[in-house]
A and B are shown apart, each in its own frame.
Chain A
Amino acid sequence: MRKAALFLCLVGCEGVVSAPGDRPMSLDPEVEVSASGIRRLSRVEMDATIKDLVGDTANGAQQLITPDPTNPSDNDFQQQLASAALIEALERIATEVADRLIADPARFAALVGCTATGPGDADCLKSFVTTFGRRALRRPLTDEEIANFVALKSFAIEANDFKVGVRLVTMAMLQEPELVYRVEVGTAVAGRPGVQQLDGYQLAARLSYFLWGTTPPDWLLDAARDGQLSTPNGIRTAAQRLLDDRQAQARVARFHALWLSYHRLPHAPDLVSAMQAESAALVDKVVFQEQGDYFDLFRSEASYVNQTLATHYGISGFQGGAGFQWTPYGTSPRKGILSHGSVLSAGAKFSDTSPTQRGIFIRNRLFCQEVPPPPPGVNVDEKPTSAASSCKVDRYSAHAANGGCRTCHQNLDPVGFGIENFNKAGQWRDHDDGEPNCAIGGDGKLTGLPGGEKPFKGVVGLTDLMLGSGQMEQCTVKQVFRFSFGRNEKPADLPFIAKLTDAFTGHGRSFQGLLLDVVTDSTYSFRKDE
């Protein structure tokens, strides 16, 4: 396909020099290509894929497949392991989905797309296999593959029921390794041992699972077929179309929920959904509505609040009715997403906030620093105590005063001390829970900043230090990289991350711009084995 396009251009566009973005994707010989491996769809991706393919919304994968580890994302393929439990779950999911499909005449008719003349109508079944197979496996099927699926019609004939054939094709398709895994096998690139160029369909799957978390839509598969994904501009156009869709909003919301650990929250259900909606709405406003500086997410002076949250946060005189209202913080010491109840729920322990856990959370998630686990001899299940004071900051400070503990805790606990005024559900408090004599000062300290250690007060102070540290840009990019590639970065990936960070910073920190920079980079169309 690419060759044909090039040929046409040479003949038909004589004298016209095409812009670099319209030239076929080519790989800079100096640039490192990111490694990839087969990636099993996460449970959430599997359910979204089944919904988009068959219109089934039962979320069977989330019921039957063992939870994907989240660290913080749920798609680290290097942690995945096939097991008997997985294989049986896949078969069960496929069977239940197919059973529900044939029991739903409207959905069945829409999906099959033809009316069978009899139980063994091979043409109709073949048309279904061809269309559905391309969507399910994200590439056209070969004639041999089509024939293998159509052979299942013998059961339809035996049962005297065309639906039986569709049921079995659906069951098989949903268990196919090329559906269950994202398989990338490109073509070898001359002069670059080990490097492969992805074909359009594989690239379509990359784009779709990255930006939508689900299988590519028909128009994207068509674009792959027509060679439209072979140039940076072609990819940009497709990616932008994906980003303009609601599914991209949901995907970006999920990225943030995983990154900032609020995809699951340990509160009552109505509070959980309100908190998640508050954060998702702010992400949406910053990334999709305003499309300005991404750091507005952290700097926002207002938030979407409903009555549940107004009560929870103690906002008096809220007049929002049942819906969410854009509510300025005013004099309230809150700012941006870090002051949301959703994010402040992270790092609770011993029935309370843990300054240590919150410190680890901030360092790990927002500065992308690895915090080593406590050394042997540290009992992490014991509340820190102090003979001198029952107040929490004193207890934690005394506990970490000695040499061995101090080394790590001086970088962690003071971060948490600074946001102690927010309890484990993000509500304001003036003193320790149950300790009216322990007033909380909210004085924090952040070490390791350019220029050394700096004091701060509250979420507002922490946010200002963080945004001013010059480290947030790179960490944002790293988190996006990990989410996109389904693994942590390796040393070989650092130049790519640095390049993306420069572009992110240089282009006013547009989050959509960052996503587009990832997918239109020349290396994104290439891969190598791990």
Chain B
Amino acid sequence: MRKAIRLSRRAALKGLGGLTVGLPLLECMLDGREAWAQAAPPRRYVVFFDGQSLGADGDTRPTEIIPTTVGPNYDLKTALTPLGALKSEVSIVSGLKIPWAAENGGTVPAGGRPDAHHVNSLSPLLSGVRANAARTRSEGATSDQLVADAIASALQVSSGRRSVQYRVQADWYLSVSAAYGRDIISYRMNGTNPVALPPTISPQQAFSSLFGTFTPPGVDPAAAAKFDFELRARKSVLDLVKNDTAKLIPKLGTVDRMRLQRHFDELRELELRVAAIPPPQTSTCVKPSNPGTDPAIGNPQPYDMNAMENQYNINSGYSGEEQRARVFCDLIHMALACDLTRVASLQVTMFQSHMNMAQLPKLNAADPVLATDCHELGHGGIPGGTHVLSLGIAWHVKHYAYLIQKLKDTPEGNGTMLDNVVMPMLWEGGHGFDPEGNKQNSSHSTENMAVMVAGRAGGLKPGKHIVAAGKHPAMVLVSAMKAAGWSGSALGEVSGEVPELFT
């Protein structure tokens, strides 16, 4: 079934120099199979998402998120503390706003949202296309997918690795409802239809998918041969399953054909991923160590959402997200370093997240236990208003900073990987007027939103706090996408940029 690998004479000669007997074939010897390339450093784009707003309900005290200082060397308030010295690598754009229906005569404006809050900011925030109140999804392609279309390599495109999508929060955690779209932040367009790209939630599966075909570094020839055998066997199994799927499709009715065709397409892409030859492992592209078994998926959250610390201190509403976040950041870093993909989205928490915050490590020992869920932090679930909300945000920022540091610590070209990366971090909401409840200082607001952008790709000059009063968050994304090599001028219905990011 499997085609024999033919070596060209020249390749064989090339490969003979210094070839150790028993090692797998060298990349240069292979004819007609594609390898993940590692030429000049490509640009990359990574979207981070935190399903929180930037101020608690009714809290009129000053923000603990947005810096007071405008311009360079901004001050770090509670939520951004984990950035530390890395603030020179990150710009924060504040004062952003997604418009809503009530201020447009009751009709959802372009790039806007209905007055109801949750999920309705999803579409305009991620795709720049106005939300449809009847649907909980993005109505347009999200920024990561548009960038992927622009910068993915041919092999990445053919093998379904135009991008990777991961989510840290492993479950919706409510027993009587479901996430209904709050759990997905990447969408592509199929004609005029948005198609969701659900994220992988298992770090182990992500590891295996990215690095399962990598020979572990430093193995002896016998182990290398065994590894190669396993890979060939795996390909044969996939080939068999794929062929049987192809035979089944024409026997089905129209709708079923479409369903199974999608299954087939995904199988084919997996097969291409497995068939592709991993890049040579270098000082920067190294098979990471196996992250081990995933933390168990936790139970639904405890029923008392108010000040029941003891209830939150059991493993409910929590699946080891601290560890999951760390592993996903490690995997994204190495996937980019090895050029397995150039685009990633990491949804740390869901929109309206019900993850139990009490299980997370504290930022400072003296901080209170966040004995509530992520969503209730903004609604007075525990006392402390914006302060405790900011501690929850800080947990997300910690992982953002961790990935930035890893990229900065990885040499590439004449600098570091961070020079070739654009990494926006988005929040679900801001703090201000809530048109739904007709209230000021609400967490159900898309006023005073912010977007952070890390990295120096495409001429970005990070390290500034930029106040872009009234601009749309998607304008920050337009600038970020351009920095990553995308050549458009509008994200969905939103055009315009934040030029200060480049000056």
Contacts and interface: CB of A to CB of B under 8 A. Distances in A.
Interface of A: 37-38, 62-64, 66-67, 69-71, 80-89, 91-92, 95, 145, 148-149, 151-152, 155, 158-159, 164, 168, 171-172, 175-178, 180-181, 183, 185, 261-269, 272, 345-348, 350-351, 361, 374, 376-382, 424-425, 529-530
B165 interface: yes
Contacts of B234: 95, 171
Interface in B369-418: 379
A348 B232 CA distance: 53
Given A37-B255, A87-B263, A152-B236, A261 B175 contact: yes
Given A37-B253, A152-B237, 18 more contacts: A37-B259, A80-B259, A82-B259, A82-B266, A86-B198, A152-B236, A177-B260, A181-B260, A265-B300, A266-B301, A266-B302, A272-B299, A348-B303, A374-B116, A376-B101, A376-B114, A377-B115, A381-B444
B15 interface: no
B229 interface: yes
Nearest to B297: A63
B252 A67 contact: no
Given A66-B198, A172-B240, A264-B299, A88 B437 contact: no
Given A64-B202, A82-B266, A178 B248 contact: yes
Nearest to A78: B255
Contact of A376 (B115, B209, B233, B253): B115
Interface residues of B, number: 79
Contacts of B243: 148
A425 B256 contact: no
B101 A379 contact: no
Nearest to A381: B379
A172 B271 CA distance: 13
Contacts of B311: 268
Given A84-B160, A379-B444, A62 B300 contact: no
B237 A266 contact: no
Given A84-B160, A177-B241, A70 B178 contact: yes
Contact of A168 (B160, B237, B266): B237
Which of A89, A269, A346, A377 has the most B CB atoms < 10 Å from its CB? Answer: A377
A69 B177 CA distance: 8
Contacts of B165: 85
Given A82-B266, A155-B229, A264 B244 contact: no
B237 A85 contact: no
Contacts of A84: 160, 197, 200, 266, 269-270
A85 B302 contact: no
Given A37-B253, A71-B178, A376 B300 contact: no
Contacts of A172: 237, 240-241
A158 B236 CA distance: 14
B34 interface: no
30 contacts: A37-B255, A38-B259, A62-B297, A63-B296, A69-B180, A81-B262, A84-B269, A84-B270, A85-B199, A86-B198, A88-B209, A92-B204, A92-B208, A95-B234, A151-B1, A155-B229, A178-B244, A183-B248, A183-B252, A264-B300, A347-B176, A348-B303, A376-B436, A377-B116, A379-B116, A381-B118, A381-B379, A381-B444, A529-B254, A529-B255
Interface string B309-343: 00100101000000000000000000000000000
B241 A38 contact: no
Interface string B210-235: 00000000000000000001001110
A281 to B, nearest CB: 20
A64 B260 contact: no
Interface string B154-168: 000000100001000
B198 A85 contact: yes
Contacts of A164: 233
Nearest to A74: B178
A85 B444 CA distance: 32
A168 B236 contact: yes
Contacts of B301: 266
Which of A70, A85, A92, A348 has the most B CB atoms < 10 Å from its CB? Answer: A85
A269 B266 contact: no
Contacts of B201: 66, 85
Which of A66, A172, A262 has the most B CB atoms < 10 Å from its CB? Answer: A66
A81 B198 contact: yes
Contacts of A64: 202, 205
Interface of B: 1, 101-102, 114-118, 133, 160, 165, 171-172, 174-176, 178-180, 183, 196-202, 204-205, 208-209, 229, 232-234, 236-238, 240-241, 243-245, 248, 251-256, 259-260, 262-263, 266-267, 269-270, 294, 296-297, 299-306, 311, 314, 316, 379, 434-437, 439, 444
Contacts of B178: 67, 69-71
A254 to B, nearest CB: 15
Nearest to B296: A63
A155 B230 CA distance: 9
A265 B314 CA distance: 14
A361 B175 CA distance: 13
Which of A63, A263, A348 has the most B CB atoms < 10 Å from its CB? Answer: A63
Contacts of A62: 297
A345 B202 contact: no
Across the A-B interface, the 3 shortest Cβ-Cβ residue pairs? A529-B253, A379-B437, A264-B175
A64 to B, nearest CB: 5
A214 to B, nearest CB: 21
Nearest to B115: A376
B116 A87 contact: no
Contacts of A171: 234, 237
A527 to B, nearest CB: 9
Which of A261, A345, A361, A380 has the most B CB atoms < 10 Å from its CB? Answer: A380
A376 B117 CA distance: 9
Nearest to A528: B253
Nearest to A261: B176
Contacts of B299: 264, 266, 269, 272
A174 to B, nearest CB: 9
B269 A425 contact: no
Contacts of B300: 264-266
Contacts of B175: 261-266, 345
Contacts of A85: 165, 198-201, 205
Contacts of B305: 350-351
Contacts of A70: 178
A337 B29 CA distance: 70
Nearest to B202: A64
A149 B208 CA distance: 25
A377 B171 CA distance: 29
Contacts of A168: 233, 236-237
Contacts of B237: 152, 168, 171-172, 175
A351 B376 CA distance: 11
Given A83-B266, A379-B437, A529-B254, A176 B241 contact: yes
Nearest to B120: A376
Which of B1, B133, B243, B266 has the most A CB atoms < 10 Å from its CB? Answer: B266
A177 B263 contact: yes
A377 B314 CA distance: 37
Contacts of A149: 240
Contact of A177 (B117, B244, B270): B244
Contact of B270 (A81, A88, A158, A264): A88
